[in-house]
Every structure is written in C-alpha cells, then in structure tokens.
Structure 1
C-alpha cells in the first residue's frame, strides 16, 4: 500500500506545522547534500522555522563564501548586461534604428555578442 498524497497548503495547527517542518528539514538537507555531491556544485540552504529558529546548510564551502560568490555573480551579470546594451545602442548598423540589416550581418553581431557573454560566464566562474 502506498502513502496518501499530502495536500500542499498551510498547516493550520502550530504544533503540527513545527513537527512537519522538523521532519522535512532533514529530508531537504539530505537532498541538498546529495545534489552537491552528485553534481559537484556549491550549495547554500537557509531556512527559518515557524518559531523563527535559523537552520542552514552549505557544502563544500562555507555558507558565507557561497553567498559572496552569488553577490559577485549578480554584480557581474548586471555590468555585462549594461555593457551589451550600451554597445548595441552605440552601433550604427541599424539594430535600434529600425533598419533591418542583412542576414550575414545579424549573424556576425550575434556571434560577437555570444563571445562576449561567454567571456563574462568564464569570468564569473573564477
């Protein structure tokens, strides 16, 4: 016999909600650990219980290191996006002026943009 499907909705009773959180927290941490090992990735997990208690998990780095990496990545992405927008605005090839360039010209622009995006991606991995 299988398990009954639990409806996904807020548990009304405070005690039951806390017990459910405690039981599921360990399962979630186990999944995060397995994902980090199987895929060789950095994982940071931050949770606050219904009572306000902090629970966190990080692997293989400290949680602070993963958060700093995230913030740096976010900054680099914003800078790269702004640079690409500026480059497109500065172009006189008609991309923003409403003139449709030929197919070969569009392909060369796309290849150039892809190369720049790849550079940003490689830089963010460091």
Structure 2
C-alpha cells in the first residue's frame, strides 16, 4: 500500500473519530499536531479538560486491537508532543487539566472503542 493510501485511510478514520467524540460532547481543538518528537492525531476538549487522542485503525483484529498498537515508546512520544503543544499554547501542564485517550476503529463501521485515560501520565 502506498504512503498516500495510508495517509488517506488515516485521515478518514481520524475524521470518523473526531465526529464520534463530538457526538459525545467533546469540542474539537486541532488535528495532526506535529513536532519533532511525534504527532497528536486529535486534540479535543471535554469541559475544562484537554484530551490528546491517538486514533488507531485495524482492518483485522488478528494482531490485537488498535489499543494494543500503542506501545510504551509511542506513549512517551505522545506525552512529549502534548507537553510541547501546551507550551506552544501558553498552558502550564501543572495548572491544566488534560488526559490521553485512544480511539480504536476497525473495518466494522459500528465498532468504536474509546478508552479514556488510556495513557497514564507519569
């Protein structure tokens, strides 16, 4: 599969995750925030809490769900990137409510797995 196809699939499922979270009452802030250390797929806001969302798509579940694909090293990159986003937006991590969620999607259009606080800060 070409890189363009992978990017198109990624954007399609990120948009689906964004719509799903909006239906759950979260407000959209930003998508695909890039830094040298990594990328945040979606940044949403749940009342007063910023939510950094990793979106994972699995066509098949043979090797586990999308949640299983968020390795420890990926978690560290997400955390570091989120801290940079907060600094860029003049938000202090010690005075800002935030969490890390994972949305796992599959080829089943009805199945959305939303894990809140999937990545524990620390």
TM-score, normalisation: structure 1: 0.29
Answer with 1 or 2: which has the greater Rg. Answer: 1
Please identify which structure carries the higher helix content: 1
TM-score, normalisation: structure 2: 0.30
Please identify which structure carries the higher strand content: 2
